[in-house]
Amino acid sequence: MKRSLALVLLAGSALAGPALADDAALRAAAKESFEAIPMQPPALPSGAAITREKVDLGAMLFFDPRMSKSGLFSCQSCHNVGLGGVDGLETSVGHGWQAGPRNAPTMLNAVYNIAQFWDGRAPDLAAQAKGPVQAGVEMNNTPDQVVATLNSMPAYVESFQAAFPGENDPVSFDNFALAIEAFEATLVTPNSKFDQFLMGQDGALNEQEKRGLQAFMDKGCNACHNGINMGGNGYYPFGLIEKPGADILPEDDRGRFAVTETADDDYVFRAAPLRNIAITAPYFHSGKVWDLKVAVDIMAESQLGEKLDEATLDDIVAFLGTLTGEQPEVVHPILPVRTGATPKPAPM
């Protein structure tokens, strides 16, 4: 959960070491903070099995724009599986062409986050999936309308029966969310250059990338960005040492404060997962920064109180580039054909 300030600072200085250790020492140090993405999807928090039927249904729901009130927006609109799981916009645009308040984070590897959203307000992927469908600025739909839409198409009803065998009422909003969760759990990106290095291949990283990894640890970035997702597992003030300007950190988005309503959580956000970071610009919950080097520069100043030199910034950016893993190749599912009973899309 939230680490104390002292612990964060301690972790930063305790890990300071020589400029570039040999590969074995570098790997040993890295393994204290980071973990390679497993080749197999993890167990779900609900304990539910990830079955082929559930994953296939989840993919259909993820790609189906008819889950939105307008018939225009699907999960894929804002979490494009071909674009690293993001929409590449400063903040997402949804129902009525409204721009939402935050940048869309990737759903790739999201199953490894301790909680979902920039402020961690959804405990897991299934809880998360119910949010965008109902959000006024996203898909603007209602659970009843989603279930009515699904029930209107026999192919969907059959898919729910196959994915949730033996249930009396398989076509439900809860199962909609569980199927999407199972699909998203398969959207992981193993075998990045960094993971190959962690697993023992010295040559997977070049000298600059190794310097970057060393700097990432020496400077203390790993105090907050660690674990499988190199983040996504703890909450910290954005501006722990020095608050960035309102151009980067808009004043009206106070992060976890809105979730917990405790003063300690003012401008606290989840340490962003850094997997695939080189392909998911723009950066920060505000989406205000397009250049990864600028984002690293801001992080060093705001979270560590340190101005990094150009060479170190370049090294860290090169290292971050090695976090791009194998992207899941998803075949766009063929979606069930509408019937006379299918609710018509509403004008926006």
Bridge-based pairing of strands 235-237 and 268-270 is antiparallel
User: Is residue 221 close enough to count as binding ligand HEC by CB under 6 A?
Assistant: yes
| Residue among 269, 276, 315, 325 that touches ligand HEC (CB under 6 A) | 269
Q: What is the DSSP string of 163-176?
A: HSTT-SS-SSHHHH
Distance CA 148, CA 140 (A): 15
| Residue among 15, 57, 75, 179 that touches ligand HEC (CB under 6 A) | 75
Helix 143-151 with 154-163: angle, nearest 10 deg: 100
Instruction: Judge contact between 166 and 83, C-beta under 8 A.
Output: no
Neighbours of 206 (CB within 10 A): 12
| Residue among 70, 92, 192, 342 that touches ligand HEC (CB under 6 A) | 92
Minimum Å gap between C-beta 232 and ligand HEC is 6
- Terminus-to-terminus CA distance in the chain, angstroms? 40
Of 27-35, 158-166, 200-208, 278-286, the segment contacting ligand HEC by CB under 6 A is: 278-286
| Residue among 30, 50, 125, 146 that touches ligand HEC (CB under 6 A) | 125
Minimum Å gap between C-beta 166 and ligand HEC is 25
**What tokens does 105 get?**
């984070």
**Which residue(s) pair with 94 in the sheet?**
98
Instruction: Judge contact between 114 and 233, C-beta under 8 A.
Output: yes
Site string (225-264) toward ligand HEC, x via CB under 6 A: x----------x-x-x------------------------
The one catalytic residue in 32, 35, 53, 138 is 138
Minimum Å gap between C-beta 284 and ligand HEC is 3
Distance CA 241, CA 235 (A): 15
Of 12-71, which residues contact ligand HEC (CB under 6 A)? 62
Distance CA 345, CA 207 (A): 55
CA Rg, the chain, in Å? 21
Of 134-173, which residues contact ligand HEC (CB under 6 A)? 138-139
Of 288-347, which residues contact ligand HEC (CB under 6 A)? 295-296, 299-300, 303-304, 316
Distance CA 325, CA 342 (A): 39
For residue 181, indicate whether it is catalytic: no
Give the binding-site size for ligand HEC (rule: CB under 6 A). 52
Q: What residues line the site for ligand HEC (CB under 6 A)?
A: 8, 62, 73, 75, 77-79, 92, 94, 100, 102, 104-105, 107, 110, 113, 116-118, 125, 128-129, 132-133, 138-139, 180, 219-221, 223-225, 236, 238, 240, 269, 271-272, 274, 277, 280, 283-285, 295-296, 299-300, 303-304, 316
Question: Would you please indicate which residues are annotated as catalytic (active-site) residues?
Answer: 138
